[in-house]
Structure 1
């Protein structure tokens, strides 16, 4: 400071030390408190204690706010804390923080949660919280990727606002326990949602397409605890998957084909029913095109019997065609034939081998 202000500093504190010049020194120190970026400490004995305490080192402000110097520097680089940095001739960087930043810094630290704590606070898994961050629904104060921090720092206040944004749309119910509802956390754990479905579900809640159910349980006010009507969510999810080309689950595809889920899983394993899976979630989906291709190529013994006016057992005995799949072929619980092999026999009564060989 002496080098910067030179003669002015000498005049004020050496040549004009009398009380009659105190107003000049007060004006000078007011300027220092407002504009001077450097550290003013006890070495500057001529300055008042109010001036020398106007700025703090990273270590001092970190101790006052209950955190570490590294965290303070990261918050400054992320734009949350004011600071000045000076490079000395030796290359060392000197950090200087206004003392007024202690309170806002302490608020940021006390309000901050790690990624694991944020997940527990929302009753979600960590990778779901990462999805919320990736979609911009949560904006962390510090991240391990963007800011080089060792741990995440996520605002608890922001998480509260996020939960209130969805719980404010809750529909009131008159019964003590709402019927046929499922918590959002259970949907995320057990419904095997593909990539993008969680964010789309939250947008549906935000826009009012889906409405959570209000209860007296305060735990249901957090995001993961929201109670959702099961059938409405299932209908919305099926529509979203169809609209986005995500296809059907194997169980849903079985329902469309009119077969049991166990049979559908067998057909997928054997390659009869085309199926795709996400490399990230390992969720298998059957597209509408895959269902159409299966129906165009294969036909079940049950359908053959129905169209021929007989029972599946009788149809199996009378057909002299080798099935593509079935209990005696590959262990499948139902028989399936190539449609091209039996097309000429459909919609007409099946004749027994004996009657086919009888004389007219």
Structure 2
């Protein structure tokens, strides 16, 4: 044994003999100094190799070891209060500041602020917190490895380094990387400093330990990520990992609750369609209601349920027992039966209004193949207004002074939109047409010259031997004012009793036949394309399927436009059928970008340009 080690052993034995022995060098703690850094300073000042050798010089090996050390250093209560942090694990000392646990402190990998070391300061105790990645004093990112050799330093190495790594590189000269204000404010809160809590006012009611828990669970929810096990992030003691957690949490907590709502919206858009709140927003739902159930985290659940109230398309009912009762009570979306009950009409009426897009709704396909559908409460007044005074097909025909077959033609030509139609609701007991639709087919008569010869619209339909669709076009011309009714100019008259100037009606008919070209309603165009009506309406709305607006007839699609569409575009469903593949699998494989679809612009089906599909197939063959 060397003389040096014999001397150390003798010193330890002599000090251990008398617990009242005072260390010859007794440095005072500095404000917020790291407890581990202070132990290293004491050990070096008194000739010990490390803080573990300093520990070996004490008689006490259990909880009272630190108390004995303080007695030998003659530290007062005020002196001890200046220290911040935890002791090394072998000291068996469990007292930690701010109510934090031992697991919240970094015992192994040292961190430092290059500006603090440059100013000759000591290791701050806040740096030993795993989630503290910035200097509370200077607001810059801490450092944990040498920029030249990449070596990690222990806390003892940082104390002894005097600003220099073992490789000779300076620890003080690397570039300073400043931190944004939100991350710095969160760092101060994690250190127990509320001086900048105003930037993150949502955390005002949280204790420091609760903030550390919150960062561990919210931090993994970074942009474009959906963590599988939030709260179980490994290697939090490494600066890079902790930095990601703090940055992610600060991003969600800033600008409260807008940033959190943005992340919730991202989770919703990335999740498969489902009426289940838990499945759609998992794992955030598990964090809010399972991992952080305490009342101090209620502000998170309030923000989440506020998002559901505004943006969740599905239903919130008593089955959602984890949500607050008030959230369930005031949720503005209802099922079809609930909306029908509120409007005091049969469910078939509401169902048909949804199918004909008279009432907007949201839906998702279940695993069973059924569709879950909901309607916003704001649509209730419109449903009540539309169904108030609604009438059957027979009564509508009497009011309009037209035969029932002509009323059916008006419905087929989209000139009259029923609330319930046997065309769509085959189980419906009767047609149901709203009073507003019938009133729309009443026209205002104008004063006619005394010698003009007039004829009722009803007689023109009956005796003039009109061709297919000419009757609908005639009524549309009268409703739109191209042909005006003659009369006493007192009150609107039903379309069947409207008297037209016979000569002008004959001229209009000849001109119409000369200009006639085949076109279709959107419903008829859907049949020609072999798609559902809502898909055709989406294509027209997006301008992918060209259409023209023809007065009361609404959107009309020319035969040439249908042919042009079929030559230019092809649906994913058609491609999957031709290739004998599932649409979902084929969607993942196609490199071509769809022009429309559920994830693109809310359309019901995906459509591609045929030219891009042909080009991809050619590349695959070559």
The TM-score with structure 1 as length reference comes to 0.50
Pick aligned residue for 2:488 from 197, 215, 227: 215
1:24 is matched with 300
Superposed CA deviations along residues 5-55 of structure 1, whole A, max 9, x for unmatched, are 455434434554455433211110022223434432123334234431423
SS in 2 for 1:74: helix
Q: Offset of 1:163 from its aligned partner?
A: 2.2
1:158 is matched with 437
Q: Offset of 1:64 from its aligned partner?
A: 0.9
- Equivalent runs, 1:221-240 vs 2, <5 Å: 221-228=493-500, 232-233=501-502, 236-237=505-506
Contact 2:348 2:420 in 1 (8 A): no
Contact 2:316 2:328 in 1 (8 A): yes
Superposed CA deviations along residues 45-95 of structure 1, whole A, max 9, x for unmatched, are 34234431423233222211222333333332333330323414x555544
SS in 2 for 1:133: helix
Q: C-alpha separation between the residues in 2 aligned to 1:44 and 1:118?
A: 45
Q: Offset of 1:180 from its aligned partner?
A: 6.6
Pick aligned residue for 1:171 from 447, 451, 463: 447
SS in 1 for 2:446: coil
Contact 1:172 1:214 in 2 (8 A): yes
Pick aligned residue for 1:129 from 400, 407, 413: 407
Closer, same or farther: CA 139–97 of 1 in aligned 2, 3 Å: closer
2:378 is matched with 100
Contact 2:363 2:374 in 1 (8 A): yes
- Equivalent runs, 1:195-274 vs 2, <5 Å: 195=467, 198-199=471-472, 201-202=474-475, 205=478, 211-215=484-488, 218=491, 221-228=493-500, 232-233=501-502, 236-237=505-506
Q: Which stretch shifts more, 39-48 or 107-116?
A: 107-116
Closer, same or farther: CA 48–117 of 1 in aligned 2, 3 Å: farther
Q: C-alpha separation between the residues in 2 aligned to 1:139 and 1:26?
A: 42
Q: C-alpha separation between the residues in 2 aligned to 1:172 and 1:111?
A: 33
1:354 is matched with none
1:44 is matched with 320
Closer, same or farther: CA 99–243 of 1 in aligned 2, 3 Å: closer
Closer, same or farther: CA 180–59 of 1 in aligned 2, 3 Å: same
Q: C-alpha separation between the residues in 2 aligned to 1:34 and 1:28?
A: 10
Q: C-alpha separation between the residues in 2 aligned to 1:157 and 1:217?
A: 20
- Equivalent runs, 1:130-145 vs 2, <5 Å: 130-140=408-418, 143-145=421-423
Superposed CA deviations along residues 98-123 of structure 1, whole A, max 9, x for unmatched, are 33333333333336543223212212
Contact 2:349 2:419 in 1 (8 A): no
Contact 2:352 2:419 in 1 (8 A): no
Q: Offset of 1:223 from its aligned partner?
A: 1.2
SS in 1 for 2:486: coil
Q: Offset of 1:142 from its aligned partner?
A: 5.0
Q: C-alpha separation between the residues in 1 aligned to 2:479 and 2:380?
A: 37
The TM-score with structure 2 as length reference comes to 0.32
SS in 1 for 2:348: helix
SS in 1 for 2:320: coil
Q: C-alpha separation between the residues in 2 aligned to 1:147 and 1:93?
A: 17
Contact 1:58 1:73 in 2 (8 A): yes
SS in 2 for 1:96: strand
Unaligned runs of 5+ in 2: 1-276, 515-622
Closer, same or farther: CA 149–105 of 1 in aligned 2, 3 Å: farther
1:63 is matched with 341
Superposed CA deviations along residues 195-250 of structure 1, whole A, max 9, x for unmatched, are 456446446646877542232664x622122234xxx41785499589969xxxxx
Closer, same or farther: CA 226–13 of 1 in aligned 2, 3 Å: same
Tell me whether 1:116 sits opposite 2:394 in the alignment. yes
Contact 1:115 1:126 in 2 (8 A): yes
Superposed CA deviations along residues 233-286 of structure 1, whole A, max 9, x for unmatched, are 1785499589969xxxxxxxxxxxxxxxxxxxxxxxxxxxxxxxxxxxxxxxxx
Structure with greater contact order relative to length (CA < 8 Å, sep ≥ 6) = 1
Bigger-Rg structure (1/2): 2
Closer, same or farther: CA 100–51 of 1 in aligned 2, 3 Å: farther
Q: C-alpha separation between the residues in 1 aligned to 2:480 and 2:354?
A: 36
1:261 is matched with none
Q: C-alpha separation between the residues in 1 aligned to 2:349 and 2:395?
A: 17
Contact 2:401 2:495 in 1 (8 A): yes
* Aligned CA-pair RMSD: 4.1
